[in-house]
């Protein structure tokens, strides 16, 4: 989930440390965005989100999910809703399937528009 990044700022700082703080790369469990964060910050985020690391954008979306909910929901429920929403709109990991679905949508739109045009032409001719 996280990996320590080696930094070479100058000779005074050791690898992986910036001004006394260890910096790591963290991958968001919702959107898979990778951020560079201090260990202390990661601990605070995980503590406030039931042990899950999420990026700042997803954290705001979770807050919004709680705010918009008609009934009181927990952070865990809001995280699950946001994660499900995120996965429902993410493209297929297989680019071939993604291309096939895109062509399918394009063909359906084209077919619907040509059918509508044909019906409009027929109705004006019969009037």
Q: What's the CA gap between 82 and 29, in Å, rounded?
A: 11
Q: What's the rounded mean pLDDT across residues 68-86?
A: 87
Q: Where are the beta strands (DSSP E) in 10-122?
A: 17-18, 21-27, 34-38
Between CA 56 and CA 35 the distance in angstroms is: 9
pLDDT value for 38: 92
> What was the pLDDT predicted at 77?
92
Nearest of 115, 88, 91 to residue 101 by alpha carbon: 91
**What is the band of 30 on the pLDDT scale with cuts at 50, 70, 90?**
confident
| Closest residue by Cα to residue 79 from 107, 105, 60, 99 | 60
How would you classify the pairing of strands 21-27 and 34-38? antiparallel
pLDDT at 4 exceeding the cut of 70: no
**Interatomic CA distance for residues 101 and 87, integer angstroms:** 16
What is the rounded average pLDDT of the residues 23-47? 90
């Amino acid at each position: 989930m996280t990996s320590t990044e080696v930094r070479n700022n100058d000779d005074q700082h050791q690898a992986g440390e910036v001004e006394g703080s260890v910096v790591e790369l963290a991958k968001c469990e919702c959107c898979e965005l990778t951020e560079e964060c201090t260990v202390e910050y990661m601990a605070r985020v995980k503590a406030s989100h039931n042990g899950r690391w999420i990026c700042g954008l997803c954290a705001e979306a979770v807050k919004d999910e709680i705010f918009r909910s008609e009934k009181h929901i927990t952070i865990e429920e809001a995280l699950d809703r946001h994660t499900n929403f995120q996965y429902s709109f993410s493209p297929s990991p297989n680019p071939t399937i993604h291309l096939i679905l895109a062509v399918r949508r394009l063909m359906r739109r084209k077919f619907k528009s040509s059918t509508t045009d044909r019906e409009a032409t027929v109705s004006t001719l019969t009037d």
